[in-house]
Structure 1
Amino acid sequence: MESKELNKDMLRGGQFLVKETPCENIFTPEDFSEEQKMMRDSVKEFVDREIWPNKERFEKKDYALTEEIMRKAGELGLLGVAVPEEYDGLGMGFVTTMLVCDYISGATGSIATAFGAHTGIGTMPITLYGNEEQKKKYVPKLATGEWFGAYCLTEPGAGSDANSGKTKAVLSEDGTHYKITGQKMWISNAGFCNLFVVFARIEDDKNITGFIVENNPENGISMGEEEKKLGIHSSSTRQVFFNDTEVPVENMLSERGNGFKIAMNALNVGRIKLAAACLDAQRRVIDSAVKYANDRIQFKTPISQFGAIQQKLAEMATAAYVGESASYRAAKNIEDRIAIRMADGASHSEAELKGVEEYAIECSILKVAVSEDIQNCSDEGIQIYGGMGFSADTPMESAWRDARISRIYEGTNEINRMLAVGMLVKKAMKGQVDLLGPATAVGQELTGIPSFDTPDFSEVLSEEKDMIARLKKVFLMVAGSAVQKYGPQLEDHQQLLMSASNILIKVYMAESAILRTEKNIKRFGEDSQKEQLAMSKLNLYHAVDDIIKNAKEAIVSFAEGDEQRMMLMGLKRFTKYQNQPNVVALRKTIATTLTEANTYCY
């Protein structure tokens, strides 16, 4: 396919904010190919056979079981889904790799972490940055599960500030190898890995450098005991110590000083994959909660019939639907951008790196939104179970504990919130996203005479789409004024950035759900999408409330007098419903279908 054809009507990263996206242009879970559906079903069957029945063993720190499951996943090819065929992988597209990550991760956070660490930050840096000799030597072993990988970046003094690591790499006198000395912590898969991707600083270089290091205790590598953690109990997590560990010079990954870039690009992929890893976890929590609510009788009535429980189930299902919608929308954008790059002559490695980097804003948005959704979902799951939910004998307690790490992995949610806005502003400065024009237009609209015409919202979702367009104006109003006021110093105003980011996140997630529902109404009919309509409207209702709160907080933090009054009036105008949705009725619609199906059925 020609790149010009692929490029047609395709938005670049961040442009969703300033350009309208026709629903026909987005990918939804209903668009999965037959091959993708078969892959999804085979992964679900594997999880239901090998992982879900063993949840109790995973909670008892059965690290050997984790290694055994990972090896079986390798035998099925699941560890090599994203790896090109020439290195013994399946060579599948980005959407399919998301799909596998989604469905293999739902039963327990221990496997989700082991899988993500191995396939993502363990294998991917070598696949994308390694030279041909390195890839031929190591990637086939990693893709098949013969070897397992781990990633050594974090240190006691270097967490979010990843480039501040103290681990040193010193070139030997004969120039044949480097000696690495330092301490790494929170290393997933450390207890059973065969290979580390290690980041160290050469001399006084500004940036760290990546190395491929085989795990050999006789080569100055030692480990701490398994960490005692809140959750992911059977995920092997240890400190790793390097003491003059000799690494051949040919095992330098990419170029000297390129380690920080490798780390950041690995995080971009890791963020959207982490969102995927939280999706089936939500589905399984919802399934368990619905079944329990249907079976639990109080006051001679299943508790699923009580409005308070229905509210929880409806909100849980809505968040899962929205997360699916946004995650697969972005995944297909990335896949298409990779295809464009390859059609223009780029190598697979270069195309994938640039394709993911293009949508780094969306990756950060998804990481934040979906990791917080799984935490809320599991928390409400406990509440539906009541006292039993607090017991380790039910699946909710471990789901809640496992979910907690998701808000810390791949850059904390606070870091990712600030990154999303920061990257958007940088794209605007480079001319990749036109924020200035639309922001200026919003400013002029604020000072102009408002229209008193009553819009025609007779078409399904027309008012919701109009609301999304106006919510984008809220972001442009707040962010545009903040950039104008603070310029390069904007990054020093973290609370303002957090508020702006919350608006950005809510807009992207709400729009994704609405576009998915609109697309499916057009091809399957409105009657088939009643619950999806209800979820899209319910989520938007919450988004409007959250955006009002965050915009107010942002506006009063930097605007005063007439400017503040004008912006607050604009906020009120931009967030006004013509027809307020009946959220109680929406929840009832969603919950009724859930409880009748006795499962998450969307």
Structure 2
Amino acid sequence: MNGLPKGGSFLFQQTLPQDIFTPEDFSLEHKMIYRTAAGFVTDSVLTRMDELEAKQEGLNRELLQAAGELGLNGADIAEEYGGTEMDKISTTIIAECMGRSGSFAMTQGGQTGIGSMPIVMFGTHEQKQKYLPGIATGEIIGAYALTEPGAGSDALSAKTSAVLSSDGKYYLLNGTKQFITNSAMADIFIVYAKIDGDKFSAFIVEAASEGLSTGAEEKKMGIKGSSTRSVSFEDVKVPVENLLFTTGRGHIVAFNILNLGRYKLAANSLGNAKFALELAATYANERKQFGSPIAGFGLIKEKLAEMAMKIYVMESMVYRTGGLLENMMNSLDTSGEDGGQVAAQGIEEYALECSMNKVFATEALAYTVDEGVQIHGGYGFSAEYTIERLYRDARIYRIFEGTNEINRVLIPTTMLRRAAKGDFPLQEAFARLKETMASGSLSRDGEDGLVQAAKDIFLLTLDIALQKYGKELPKHQEILGKQADLAIQAFAMESAWLRAKKALAKEGEAQAKLKLTLAKAYIYATIGRLEYSAQEILAALAEGKELADNLENLHRLTRYTPQNTVALRREIAAAISENGRYVV
């Protein structure tokens, strides 16, 4: 990989602050794209949110075409096929800004992500030429039809069938897909079906095909402005040239698209969470109780600070990962006919980071909108206030693109699979940790020490779990879930701290002060929770003297001097209240 860090390698090696990308590294072009995308959402989408929520006919298509005129739909599409072909930081910025747009983020995300990326990455030249220019302009709307009523997260158990016609000119598709975004207005569907009952394959299916129909709109808790319907196929004829990639290789298409989808959903969550904090901070400054703005009350300060801390961490994770993806793309030769497949393989290297971003960001968003409602008090429960919609809209994020439970299982199992192939130095890392603990040279004071402690806690518990269960460990999902949380938090803590240190070196202490405070507060507030989670894992793996010895090793990894996080949060809250929004 030309010296690039391997996915998940942050757990086993030191990362230098200068080696990560942060929002402070935005170029002038990045800042211009930010202004363009944010301005579009503010001026064209939020001003029409009531119409969107009421499902005004044709409005989503109108907005997609307006986004297309600004180049926002074609960021991942090559110029040869009508796109604007931006770097991964730019596409991340667009996804973040779209996060503020409520249900339209799902419409636009379906268009630019799962509804078109299968063609971008796995389509033939002819398929790209036929469909991508219209997708970039918004004249062609795409949708992604994977989920089935009985399959859910088990996508490969799909029942939709495809049978080659006797003359070999087309496939006959039969089956039903459920919860399909953009289905009411889609012009094409990326459909997954099994050829001859067992060859899981992907197809481009035109909506005008005879035998294709959609059900009624789903009555949803949130994202009411986006179209979500079932799609049925009754002897739908799909020309053989509309087979995507290779017969029986549809899972390669599906899983690679999901990696990017998870990452972009994290960026959506970031934009959405910033919006929620802005609403909460503004309301807290204006709302008076007992003669004073509630922003001055200690428990409100704590909420505002905690929201800002989580946003800072997810922002650090998202753009760090964007930097990894961009560096990967720059290292690859994607000029050939199979360039999209080469890019997909490159992105797959960071599948772990994509899942970590997805889980952390969607749950941080859930926390942020929930506390946003709480700060609004009774008004937060009223549909007259925007925070109520954000609360409802956010709930689906933990379900989309593979549930957070699925992603939690994927994180450690992917690590174990890569370790078995020799791509992940687990055993060497276990041995080094044992040597370190035996030497008695552990020192965990300071943020660097606590970030390393988070990694070591993960390695200690995984080593003990593997000793007990070996290859049977994937059957113990409760342990896998907690292992995933330890790995996610190690990445979260490190991303926040590296960003703060990079800012300190570049900007000086005065300019970097708030970033340092945000990172410190998060690290010290989190490390104790990781220790408790590790205790639960260890108690599930051993008892008696063995458990006591394991707990002693854990305690040795987590000896540190607590910091005054109450004071740190007050500093953060003061900055948020003063500006009425998220600032760093």
Where in structure 2 are the equivalents of 1:388-427 lying within 5 Å?
388-427=379-418
User: Structure 1: which 5+ residue stretches go unaligned?
Assistant: 458-462
Residues 1:595 and 2:577 are matched in the alignment: yes
Residues 1:471 and 2:451 are matched in the alignment: no
Distance 1:131 1:545 in 2: 52
Which residue is equivalent to 2:30? 36
Distance 1:62 1:229 in 2: 16
Where in structure 2 are the equivalents of 1:368-517 lying within 5 Å?
368-446=359-437, 448=438, 450-451=440-441, 463-517=446-500
Of 224, 228, 238, which residue of structure 1 is paired with 2:229? 238
Mean CA deviation greater in 428-437 or 253-262: 428-437
Residues 1:542 and 2:525 are matched in the alignment: yes
Residues 1:135 and 2:128 are matched in the alignment: yes
**Aligned residues of 2:125 and 2:337 also touching (Cα < 8 A):** no
Distance 1:561 1:63 in 2: 66
**Aligned residues of 1:338 and 1:354 also touching (Cα < 8 A):** no
Q: Deviations over 1:95-131 (max 9, x none)?
A: 11111111122131x1111111111111100110011
Instruction: Give the drift of 1:341.
Output: 1.7
Aligned residue identity for 2:572: I
Aligned residue identity for 1:161: D
**Aligned residues of 1:269 and 1:363 also touching (Cα < 8 A):** yes
Instruction: Give the drift of 1:566.
Output: 1.6
Instruction: Give the drift of 1:334.
Output: 1.1
Which residue is equivalent to 1:176? 169
| Runs ≥4 residues deviating over 4 A | 343-347
Which residue is equivalent to 2:7? 13
User: Structure 2: which 5+ residue stretches go unaligned?
Assistant: none
Distance 1:35 1:347 in 2: 29
Instruction: Give the drift of 1:67.
Output: 2.3
Residues 1:566 and 2:536 are matched in the alignment: no
**Aligned residues of 2:454 and 2:489 also touching (Cα < 8 A):** no
Which residue is equivalent to 1:58? 52
Distance 2:461 2:40 in 1: 48
Distance 1:341 1:384, change over 3 A: same
Instruction: Give the drift of 1:538.
Output: 1.4
Residues 1:47 and 2:56 are matched in the alignment: no
Of 140, 150, 157, which residue of structure 2 is paired with 1:164? 157
Aligned to 1:182, the other structure's residue is in SS state strand
Distance 2:97 2:494 in 1: 24
Distance 1:347 1:195 in 2: 22
Distance 1:50 1:345, change over 3 A: closer
Which residue is equivalent to 2:307? 316
Where in structure 2 are the equivalents of 1:518-529 lying within 5 Å?
518-529=501-512
Aligned residue identity for 2:470: G
**Aligned residues of 1:107 and 1:284 also touching (Cα < 8 A):** no
Of 289, 308, 322, which residue of structure 2 is paired with 1:298? 289
Aligned to 1:80, the other structure's residue is in SS state coil
**Aligned residues of 1:201 and 1:209 also touching (Cα < 8 A):** yes
Aligned residue identity for 1:52: L
Of 62, 72, 79, which residue of structure 1 is paired with 2:66? 72
Instruction: Give the drift of 1:83.
Output: 0.5
Distance 2:335 2:463 in 1: 35
Which residue is equivalent to 1:460? none
Distance 1:142 1:346 in 2: 20
Aligned to 1:139, the other structure's residue is in SS state helix
Distance 1:430 1:347, change over 3 A: same
**Aligned residues of 2:259 and 2:355 also touching (Cα < 8 A):** yes
Aligned residue identity for 1:581: Q
Aligned residue identity for 1:413: N
Distance 1:82 1:291 in 2: 35
How many residues end up aligned between the 2 structures? 584
Distance 1:140 1:534, change over 3 A: same
Mean CA deviation greater in 372-381 or 334-343: 334-343
Distance 1:257 1:231, change over 3 A: same
Root-mean-square deviation (CA, aligned residues, Å) is 1.6
Instruction: Give the drift of 1:346.
Output: 9.1
Of 111, 117, 137, which residue of structure 2 is paired with 1:144? 137
Which residue is equivalent to 2:213? 222
Aligned to 2:333, the other structure's residue is in SS state helix
Distance 1:95 1:370 in 2: 17
**Aligned residues of 1:372 and 1:407 also touching (Cα < 8 A):** yes
Distance 1:502 1:308 in 2: 27
Of 563, 568, 584, which residue of structure 1 is paired with 2:566? 584
Distance 1:171 1:282, change over 3 A: same
**Aligned residues of 1:335 and 1:355 also touching (Cα < 8 A):** no
Instruction: Give the drift of 1:546.
Output: 2.1
Distance 1:344 1:79, change over 3 A: closer
Distance 1:501 1:24, change over 3 A: same
Instruction: Give the drift of 1:331.
Output: 1.0
Distance 2:295 2:50 in 1: 27
**Aligned residues of 1:14 and 1:361 also touching (Cα < 8 A):** yes
**Aligned residues of 1:63 and 1:234 also touching (Cα < 8 A):** no
**Aligned residues of 2:74 and 2:112 also touching (Cα < 8 A):** yes
Of 114, 120, 124, which residue of structure 2 is paired with 1:121? 114
Of 326, 351, 354, which residue of structure 1 is paired with 2:345? 354
Distance 1:546 1:202 in 2: 48
Residues 1:557 and 2:545 are matched in the alignment: no
Aligned residue identity for 2:72: L
TM-score scaled by structure 1? 0.95
Mean CA deviation greater in 339-348 or 543-552: 339-348
**Aligned residues of 1:475 and 1:504 also touching (Cα < 8 A):** yes
Which residue is equivalent to 1:102? 96
Instruction: Give the drift of 1:345.
Output: 7.8
Distance 1:410 1:99 in 2: 19
Which residue is equivalent to 1:279? 270
Q: Deviations over 1:564-598 (max 9, x none)?
A: 11221111111221x31101100000000111112
Instruction: Give the drift of 1:65.
Output: 2.2
Distance 1:75 1:308, change over 3 A: same
**Aligned residues of 2:61 and 2:138 also touching (Cα < 8 A):** no
Instruction: Give the drift of 1:63.
Output: 5.3
**Aligned residues of 1:507 and 1:543 also touching (Cα < 8 A):** no
Aligned to 2:15, the other structure's residue is in SS state coil
Instruction: Give the drift of 1:204.
Output: 3.0
**Aligned residues of 1:63 and 1:236 also touching (Cα < 8 A):** no
Distance 1:592 1:410 in 2: 36
Instruction: Give the drift of 1:471.
Output: 1.6
Residues 1:202 and 2:195 are matched in the alignment: yes
Instruction: Give the drift of 1:537.
Output: 1.1
Aligned to 1:105, the other structure's residue is in SS state helix
Instruction: Give the drift of 1:343.
Output: 8.1
Q: Deviations over 1:471-519 (max 9, x none)?
A: 2111111111212221221110000101111101111011000000000
Distance 1:347 1:24 in 2: 33
